[in-house]
Chains A and B, each alone.
Chain A
Amino acid sequence: MAPPRYDSAISAASCSGSSSSSSSSCAAGKLTPPQEIDGLLADAGYKVRSSDLRQVAQRLERLETVMVNAPSEISQLATDAVHYNPSDIASWVDSLLSELSQPPLPLPSDLSDFSDLNYVDSLVGPAINPTVVNNEWTDLHAPQQQQTVPQLLTVVTAMEEDSGIRLVHMLMTCAEAVQRGDFPLAGSLIDEMQGLLTRVNTGCGIGKVAKHFIEALRRRVFTPQGLCSAAGGGAGSTNEYEFLYHHFYEACPYLKFAHFTANQAILEAFDGHDCVHVIDFNLMHGLQWPALIQALALRPGGPPLLRLTGIGPPSSDGRDSLREIGLRLNELARSVNVQFAFRGVAASRLEDVKPWMLQVSPKEAVAVNSIMQLHRLLGAPPSRNSPIEVVLAWIRSLNPKIVTVVEQEANHNQPEFLNRFTESLYYYSTMFDSLEACPLQPEKAVAEVYIQKEICNILCCEGAARLERHEPLAKWRTRLGEAGFRPLHLGSNAFKQASMLLTLFSAAGYCVEENEGCLTLGWHSRPLIAASAWEALPLPPLPDGSDPIRIINQNVL
């Protein structure tokens, strides 16, 4: 019996199915707009243009033939080949074909290679699909699904306990009252909830989450202005923040994952370059860099000359802490024979940094590294000179080889308080649940304080003081695309290494996932942090033919 054939006419023939909404999409004479993605495959997580289905099918057939004829190569494909962006079946199959030294089929496809296929008609109609997705193939924008939709994981331990349910009810009612401006009601609910807290286990589960959110509501209602100063949204001194950050780093793997994944991508981008320059948007203790320095030291062919520019807030106690970190990193680099130069750039806000301060040389390969910094620039209303656009523009002007971006995978920048409250309740419930597994004290307790400050900034601060404006990956894709960047896909090798590290160093339950070329780390099935890599599209030349990059670097601003 012949192997199964695919028949695009089947789609039209099965119009008689009981789905009432399918009738509109099965007019057999209607041509599909070429950009339309097959909606049924989209529901299965794959992006294939309806008009490409036949070609993709032929590529799959070709791949199978090759795999059948060279079974020993299959294991090489599995172990050595790096896979990227599996949602794009066409490019995935092509990359495997080229790994096996088989060129992809020319366009349009040549039927004579597959003469025994039964094509009823060359018209490729849409499959029965009441939910045809009208996305443009080249659309870098977020898909139609609303970005205000909360994506959720409920990590329920004691939701069914009466006190737990009552607490959550009251939290939501209180948040609604705050939204409406009914502060007397909100205040009395807060008092009631604090009473209820004494009867609930606040050491874990819903009790712990409730405790933190009640505190945020309390600050919002009772101390609205005192909390949020212009400088840093109530984060206190730089030293205090660094202390909290370090404990959060130790207690759970989110920051380690961020550093590790970014370093992998930077290392690959620097391949073949002898002079490299990393610009770190938030140096902190420079925790990310020892590993990169060591990896560069071990590079086949020897390490490059490495420059690191670390941006950070000015120290509040007069010490030049940026320089101190630089000195320590320099010592490490010397110990592994990596030529190293460090420069600190002190700035309270990223938008105060000007590109000339970074002293980028045209000869070096530049990596810009932003770990949870870009969202802090979203405070001003969108305009030509909004901080995020200004910063993205000067990043682009540096002509970086790679821009690594790690952001919280959350929708915490909605204007409506209640939406922010609900979203963050789900997000931080998951994060607190993951923290339960941490055995280290005082790291765990201090990490909670770190998280508490984030929650308070999201819920208690407004305007310039609200810095924690997390937005989901889909929105960052749009933003970065509009600013002239295109994605550099993180592949199966980075995925595997991140997963393996997690198994070694963290509790079971943490989960790395691939999301159209980006990697996320989450707790069970809820991603909490997303890592992506980008390169700048070349800038168009100025009308007079001069090089725009040189012009920007010479600007005295």
Chain B
Amino acid sequence: MVVPLNTWVLISNFKLAYNLLRRPDGSFNRHLAEFLDRKVLANANPVDGVFSFDVIIDRGTSVYSRIYRPVNAEEPQPSIVDLEKPLSADIVPVIIFFHGGSFAHSSANSAIYDTLCRRLVVNCEAVVVSVNYRRAPENRYPCAYEDGWTALKWVNSRPWLQSKKDSKVHIYMAGDSSGGNIVHHVAVKAVESGIEVLGNILLNPMFAGEKRTESEKRLDGKYFVTIQDRDWYWRAFLPEGEDRDHPACNPFGPNGKSLEGIKFPKSLVVVAGLDLLQDWQMAYAEGLEKAGQKVKLLYLKQATIGFYLLPNNNHFYTVMDEISSFVSSDR
């Protein structure tokens, strides 16, 4: 099995750096993590058709979101007054994005995620709102979900994010790894609270359970990820003393809540064939199906984790096209 050289360098670099950050006692070397993370500034001057700016959405928790907007053909150079200018098209999907990092790593301004969000804007002709949610182990469950919920409420209540057609915000949620997990839980809360989310996009979402699945055993340590590191991140995120059948990581497990009969958003679940979590991810898709929910599973046999970070492989383009169709179905 092969991956492109620069992808290998990128993911291996992360893997080795992350090995230095996780301490055996469960604590995390946050200073070194922030030092090593490559960050980029928001930029209100368009670059390749996208401009971005940061907004603090909750001062109490210091959570900000980075907003990415496509440039308007009539106004190629937005000024400060145009940052929150109302959307001009009939229907514009607003994708709330939750970056990955296994709940502990990365930020909304991490270079890899800033780049990914910009690509989403261009591919989907959407606005993207990337949430800088609080991370584990300093902030355990349910902080990340609460921040996701705060972001959803914030997005839903911005008049300038409404689509002209129906004066409503057309909300989708997307996330990779831990971000995918957050998407699910925020969607559940959305349904309970009556905020409409039009679709969930889960890229290599992070789920788990007490049992060791076949894919975990077969792929342990083979493609950048080990069972041991997955276990570490769950111990860091879940409340102390909880096991991996907690509904946060195992929503369709023994402690999960039934989604039958509720109006859950349609889901696009992308699974990489070389990801050791695939059995849990496919069980998630199955769980949605059994509950009568609409789900499309995209299984990419030769893909490893992080394939969507660099546009140097076919899977990247396949997934971008799928996401684009997924958020455009009501246009």
Contacts and interface: CB of A to CB of B under 8 A. Distances in A.
B16 A64 contact: yes
A152 B312 contact: no
Contact of A53 (B6, B17, B219): B6
Interface stretch (B50-58, B195-203, B252-260): B50-58
If over half of A's interface residues share one DSSP class (helix, strand or loop), that class is named, otherwise mixed; here it is mixed
B321 interface: yes
From A43, A46, A495, residue with most partner B Cβ within 10 Å: A43
B1 A1 contact: yes
Contact of A499 (B3, B34, B40, B108): B34
A14 B313 contact: yes
B5 A6 contact: yes
A64 B32 CA distance: 18
Contacts of B40: 45
A151 B17 CA distance: 29
Contacts of A131: 48
Interface string A43-69: 111101000011011001101100100
Given A64-B16, A154-B55, A422-B79, A525 B8 contact: no
A149 B159 contact: no
Contacts of A18: 317, 321
B84 A159 contact: yes
Given A6-B8, A172-B80, A150 B45 contact: yes
A7 B31 contact: no
Nearest to B31: A496
A4 B32 contact: no
Contact of B35 (A3, A64, A152, A514): A514
A93 B158 CA distance: 45
Contact of B6 (A38, A45, A157): A38
A220 interface: no
B109 interface: yes
B66 interface: yes
A435 B233 CA distance: 36
A426 B110 CA distance: 21
B223 A83 contact: no
Interface string B295-319: 0000000001000011111101100
Interface string B25-66: 000010110111011111111011000011110000010101
Contacts of A172: 79-81
B31 A10 contact: no
B21 interface: yes
Nearest to A120: B2
Contacts of A169: 81
A492 interface: yes
A67 B32 contact: no
Contacts of A45: 38-40, 110-112
B212 interface: no
Contacts of A526: 41-42, 54
Query: Which of A45, A93, A96, A525 is packed against the most chain B CB atoms within 10 Å?
Result: A525
Interface residues of B, number: 75
A557 interface: no
B41 A151 contact: yes
A5 B3 CA distance: 6
A512 to B, nearest CB: 7
Contact of B4 (A10, A16, A60, A499): A10
A44 B12 contact: no
Contacts of B108: 525
Nearest to A167: B81
A4 B1 contact: yes
Given A168-B81, A514-B35, A53 B42 contact: no
B64 A513 contact: no
B47 to A, nearest CB: 8
Contacts of B13: 46, 60, 89, 93
A383 interface: no
Interface in B196-234: 218-219, 221-224
A557 B218 CA distance: 77
Nearest to B309: A44
Nearest to A79: B29
A118 B20 contact: no
A410 to B, nearest CB: 12
A169 B274 CA distance: 52
Interface string A132-152: 000000000000010001111
B19 interface: yes
B38 A74 contact: no
B9 interface: yes
A88 B317 CA distance: 28
Nearest to A490: B35
Contacts of B317: 17-19
Given A11-B5, A19-B311, A153-B54, A524 B62 contact: yes
Given A152-B53, A172-B81, 10 more contacts: A6-B9, A44-B112, A44-B309, A79-B29, A124-B5, A145-B47, A154-B44, A160-B158, A422-B79, A496-B32
26 contacts: A4-B1, A5-B1, A6-B4, A10-B2, A17-B317, A44-B111, A44-B115, A45-B38, A46-B13, A56-B9, A57-B5, A60-B16, A67-B19, A75-B24, A83-B32, A86-B35, A127-B6, A127-B312, A128-B4, A150-B43, A160-B158, A422-B79, A492-B36, A500-B31, A525-B132, A526-B42
Interface of B: 1-10, 12-13, 15-17, 19-21, 23-24, 29, 31-32, 34-36, 38-45, 47-48, 53-56, 62, 64, 66, 79-81, 83-84, 108-112, 115, 132, 158-160, 218-219, 221-224, 274, 304, 309-314, 316-317, 321
Question: Which 5 residue pairs are nearest across A and B when measured between Cβ atoms?
Answer: A45-B38, A45-B111, A6-B8, A7-B2, A152-B44
